[in-house]
Amino acid sequence: MSHYPFGSGIVSKYLGVSRQLFDIDFAQSVLAPITLPPTMSKANATTIQGIFNRIAPQYDALNEWISLGQHRIWKKMAVKWSGVTSGDRVLDVCCGSGDLTLLLAKTVGIYGQTIGLDFATQQLAIAAKKQARTCPHLDIHWQEGDALHLPYPENHFDGITMGYGLRNVVDIPRALGELQRVLKPGKKVAILDFHRPEDPSKQVFQQWYLNHFVVPLAEQFQLTHEYAYIQPSIERFPSGKEQEKLAKATGFREAVHYGIVGDMMGVLVAIK
């Protein structure tokens, strides 16, 4: 729980954009049916689920443009902080199109087991095709499921990651509680996400960036409505300190939030 795993003087470059096409039938054999728990707000969950299914074909391309390729660095940081090693059984919750899941799988290697879970079927279809194209030899299971009701036993995983998912769940404490439940004692979860900077000047820059860069890009992909949720989701998302308190309240014995990218983003690292 100490220092950054990467140096501060990282110079990144644009890594190229590829627009993914998906075939939903390709991944049907590896997708388990989703069941929403009775306490979950079905209307809110369905709205969020619909957004991520609709943006699936352009999701990877937009991530490249919006982050100028740096999202790869941030995801590597999350994997590093999760503490996973070769042979581990690991889980990536809200895995989307699978970038973070694939990094996890490559870290645990051919003797490890990896699960990528998401409730957006079309994102999972893209993830499955991506794996088939880049690393078919790795043991990855793509599962449709709910972050508020993880279909796994207690003390099951050696490490867990979650990228840009906690901000979008309808019950953050419950989601953290589920992560804590399925994680083995002494192991870590690393949660990467946007958050509101504490510095007012950085808040102004974040707002400018979203309004003058992210939104125009989304318009080019005809996804203005779908990406309009980002700003309000950041505004209501707990701060880093609040995330630490929530994690400890749900049973983690230690939790530290590391601000990155000028404190406009962060990684919550919690130990069970």
Average pLDDT, the chain: 80
Lowest-confidence segment of 51-60, 207-216, 222-231, 246-255 by average pLDDT: 51-60
The pLDDT of residue 116 is above 70: yes
Would you state the pLDDT for residue 229? 73
Length of the chain: 272
Lowest-confidence segment of 5-19, 66-80, 180-194, 208-222 by average pLDDT: 5-19
First-last CA distance in the chain: 13
Domain boundaries, the chain: 26-196+236-271
**Higher per-residue confidence, 113 vs 221:** 113
pTM as predicted: 0.78
Question: What CATH number labels 26-196+236-271?
Answer: 3.40.50.150
Average pLDDT over residues 212-227: 74
Query: What are the angstrom distances between the C-alpha of 90 and each of 55, 138, 144, 156?
Result: 26, 13, 16, 9
